[in-house]
Amino acid sequence: MIKDKVVVSRYAEAFISFARENCGLDKALEDLVIVKNIIRDNPGFSELMHNPEISYAEKCIIIDAAIKDGLSDEIRNFLKLLIEKKRFDVFLDAAEYLRVKYSHLGQVDVLLKTAFPLELDLIKKIEAVLKKKFKQDLRFYIDLDGSLLGGVQVVIGNTIIDGSVEKRLSELKEKLAAVSIA
């Protein structure tokens, strides 16, 4: 089950990253909703895409015929990629994943954990660095967590950036345990 969630998030993030650069976030999300509705309203469509007797080329022709009129090439190419990789069943979950993730006007939630309250200037510097690194509009939440001992830990989706003292001590403990004393 967790593996499926990882697959869904990876395909979804890859699509949205590609589409954002080519047709824009709003257009990509709009197209996802339209295609999701087409698939849900036409159960035979999924059956066609899963049918092993229909070739990949024929499925691409069906997609081009069914998904047209104002929809981006990016959404068509995404569907074709899913078919090629035999992952068409991921589409509805990927569309839902992206709907939930980007329902806050494209903002992504970031949890900034710290052992002690941080100065506002430092928080703004961390925010600027993360916005530049992830190329997304971020919405910050701050959590005071004394178990970190010091430093910060940043959680963005399924990405964790751990610069805490607790993590460094844990790594040091592992290194010391690996050293054999003669």
pLDDT of residue 182: 57
pLDDT digits (tens, 9 = 90+) for 9-32: 899 888 988 888 888 888 888 888
Average pLDDT over residues 84-98: 89
The helix (run of H) or strand (run of E) holding residue 155 is: strand 151-156
Which phi and psi (to 5°) does residue 31 adopt?
Answer: -65, -40
Whole-angstrom distance, CA of residue 37 vs CA of residue 40? 5
Tell whether 91 and 124 lie within a shared domain. no
Tell whether 49 and 75 lie within a shared domain. yes
In this predicted structure, the answer to whether residue 2 has a pLDDT above a threshold of 60 is no
Tell whether 125 and 162 lie within a shared domain. yes
pLDDT of residue 132: 87
pLDDT band at 104 (very low <50, low <70, confident <90, very high): low
Tell whether 97 and 7 lie within a shared domain. yes
Tell whether 86 and 21 lie within a shared domain. yes
Whole-angstrom distance, CA of residue 122 vs CA of residue 128? 10
Query: What's at 31, amino acid-wise?
Result: D
pLDDT band at 53 (very low <50, low <70, confident <90, very high): very high
Tell whether 7 and 96 lie within a shared domain. yes
The helix (run of H) or strand (run of E) holding residue 124 is: helix 120-134
Structure tokens at 31: 């197209």
What's the domain count of the chain?
2
Share of the chain above pLDDT 70, in %: 93
Contact (CB, 8 A) for 165 and 173: no
pLDDT of residue 99: 80
Tell whether 97 and 29 lie within a shared domain. yes
Q: Which residues contact 7 (CB under 8 A, 6 or more apart)?
A: 87, 90
pLDDT of residue 165: 78
Whole-angstrom distance, CA of residue 63 vs CA of residue 112? 42
Tell whether 74 and 152 lie within a shared domain. no
Closest by Cα among 163, 101, 172, 93 to 136? 101
Tell whether 125 and 57 lie within a shared domain. no
Mark which of 101, 129, 158 sits at the end of a domain.
Answer: 101
State the chain's mean pLDDT as an integer.
84
Whole-angstrom distance, CA of residue 50 vs CA of residue 163? 45
Tell whether 132 and 93 lie within a shared domain. no
Tell whether 92 and 123 lie within a shared domain. no
Q: What is the CATH number of the domain that holds 80?
A: 1.10.520
Whole-angstrom distance, CA of residue 97 vs CA of residue 91? 10
pLDDT digits (tens, 9 = 90+) for 109-155: 788 888 888 899 988 998 899 888 887 778 888 888 887 788 888 88
pLDDT of residue 56: 92
Mark which of 74, 101, 128 sits at the end of a domain.
Answer: 101
Cα 46 to Cα 51, 88, 90: the distances in Å are 9, 8, 11
Show the domain range for 97.
Answer: 2-101
- Indicate the pTM of the whole model: 0.56
Mark which of 44, 71, 101 sits at the end of a domain.
Answer: 101
Share of the chain above pLDDT 90, in %: 9
Tell whether 78 and 135 lie within a shared domain. no
Q: What is the CATH number of the domain that holds 134?
A: 3.40.30
